[in-house]
């Protein structure tokens, strides 16, 4: 059991996941590396339905992706995505070398 903000939770606290690296791999697609060492592919296209993310349609804005703190941001931090969301809404990256 653990307590946060005077609320008791069962079990053990989950390790906070952080973004340690981000790279653009295609239009609206990112390769995100997490503090767990896992790399995942995140497609930002579905986010464009929300007004706050619509500036990402502009390649100049999208290509200015940065890591601030432990998450991915754009537009000087005006647009961000939580690391947990990036992880949950991405797919595993699997590199296979061709023989």
Residue 65 lies in a domain: yes
Tokens of 1: 């059991």
Beta pairing, strands 29-34 & 39-43: antiparallel
Per the domain annotation, does 82 fall within a domain?
yes
Number of independent structural domains in the chain: 1
Per the domain annotation, does 7 fall within a domain? no
Contact (Cβ atoms closer than 8 angstroms) between residue 27 and residue 59: yes
Name the more confident of 6 and 88: 88
The pLDDT tens digits for 32-59 are: 999 999 999 999 999 999 999 999 999 9
Q: Which pLDDT tens digit goes with each residue over 56-92?
A: 999 999 999 999 999 999 999 999 999 999 999 999 9
Asked if 82 contacts 76 with a C-beta cutoff of 8 angstroms, the reply is no
CATH number for position 26: 3.30.2020.10
pTM: 0.80
Share of the chain above pLDDT 70, in %: 82
């Amino acid at each position: 059991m653990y307590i946060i903000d005077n609320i008791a939770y069962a079990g053990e606290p989950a390790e906070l996941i952080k973004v340690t690296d981000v790279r653009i791999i295609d239009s609206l697609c990112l390769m995100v590396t997490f503090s767990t060492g896992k790399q995942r592919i995140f497609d930002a296209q579905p986010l464009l339905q929300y007004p706050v993310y619509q500036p990402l349609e502009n390649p100049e804005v999208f290509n200015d992706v940065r890591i601030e703190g432990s998450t991915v941001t754009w537009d000087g931090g005006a647009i961000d995505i939580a690391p947990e969301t990036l992880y949950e809404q991405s797919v595993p990256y699997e590199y296979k070398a061709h023989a």
